[in-house]
Chains A and B, each alone.
Chain A
Amino acid sequence: MKKNQIELEIRVPNQTRYLSLIGRISEELIAQVEGYVGDRETLANHLNVVLTEALVNAIRHANENNPEEIVQIRITISDNEILMQVFDHGRGFDLTQTALDSKKGEDALDEHGRGLFIIRSLMDSVEYHPTESGNVLEMRKRYR
């Protein structure tokens, strides 16, 4: 691990009841970022929203609401970037397909389909890769 780097790894059951806890932890962690000149409260809120959306995607779509599954979150804060990774162990989801769906962010009266639109809007890069035991959604935000 690099000097001054913060890395936090959390595993929680595949249930939405933990969203609030993870969101609070991410906001507290952002408070530790040094050298950020913008509005820290807004950054913390945005990362809380992004992490919530990513977790819900993993819980409901990738892990298909299976409460026995585990969702793993890793947040890495390095010198100039915040990396948030959400690992699922399920069948995953088609990011390309969902990205197309995310255009519904502009379709005001659709009840669903805004999650990935929000993630893409608030982060600098979003990728979804297979891993040995499932998939990982990687979301990066440069902060200086």
Chain B
Amino acid sequence: MNMKIEETGNVMVVVVKEERLDAHNSENLKQELGRLFNEGKTSVVVDLKEVRFIDSSGLGALVSGFKNASSRQAELKLSSLQSQVKSMFELTRLHRVFDIYQTVDEAIDAF
């Protein structure tokens, strides 16, 4: 999957450069988040501004990242959800689990 990793201060921002986050490509995101937390990163934002479609596997990859972060005293935040993506978080009630921000800057400032 295409993604871009940016470092702002001590915050790592993972920009997903795909229109779809689904069963075909979400394993890559899960592994990348695992790698960042394994390296000791404590503040990670996943920027979903380019994603207009997410399925249960995509949600599962983010849940994996969230659990990985929680077990290491690290934090994972999400930013820039498009409306169709947001509705999948609401349907599965995951919007209550994640810290979700309108913009990547707001997410970075919240650490």
Contact = CB atoms under 8 A, between A and B. Distances in A.
Interface of A: 16-17, 19-20, 23, 41-42, 45, 48-49, 52-53, 56, 59-60, 105-106, 108-115, 117-118, 121-122
Given A42-B84, A56-B55, A111 B64 contact: yes
A41 B63 CA distance: 27
A108 B96 contact: yes
Given A19-B23, A56-B57, 7 more contacts: A23-B20, A42-B84, A49-B55, A56-B22, A108-B96, A112-B60, A114-B59
Contacts of B56: 53, 56, 112-115, 117-118
B23 A108 contact: no
> How many of chain B's residues touch chain A, expressed as a range?
20 to 34
B55 A16 contact: no
Contacts of B93: 105-106, 108
A144 B59 CA distance: 30
B66 interface: yes
Contacts of B60: 111-112, 114
Interface of B: 20, 22-24, 53, 55-57, 59-61, 63-64, 66-67, 84, 87-88, 91-94, 96-97
B91 A121 contact: yes
Contact of A20 (B20, B66, B84, B88): B20
A11 B55 CA distance: 21
B22 A20 contact: yes
A118 B24 contact: no
A62 B22 CA distance: 19
A23 B59 contact: no
A109 B24 CA distance: 21
Given A16-B23, A52-B23, A109 B66 contact: yes
Contact of B23 (A42, A56, A105, A113): A56
Chain A to chain B: the 8 pairs with minimum beta-carbon distance, closest first:
A114-B56, A16-B24, A111-B60, A56-B23, A115-B56, A45-B84, A108-B97, A52-B55
A19 B58 CA distance: 13
A109 B55 contact: no
A3 B46 CA distance: 48
B92 A17 contact: no
Contacts of A52: 22-23, 55
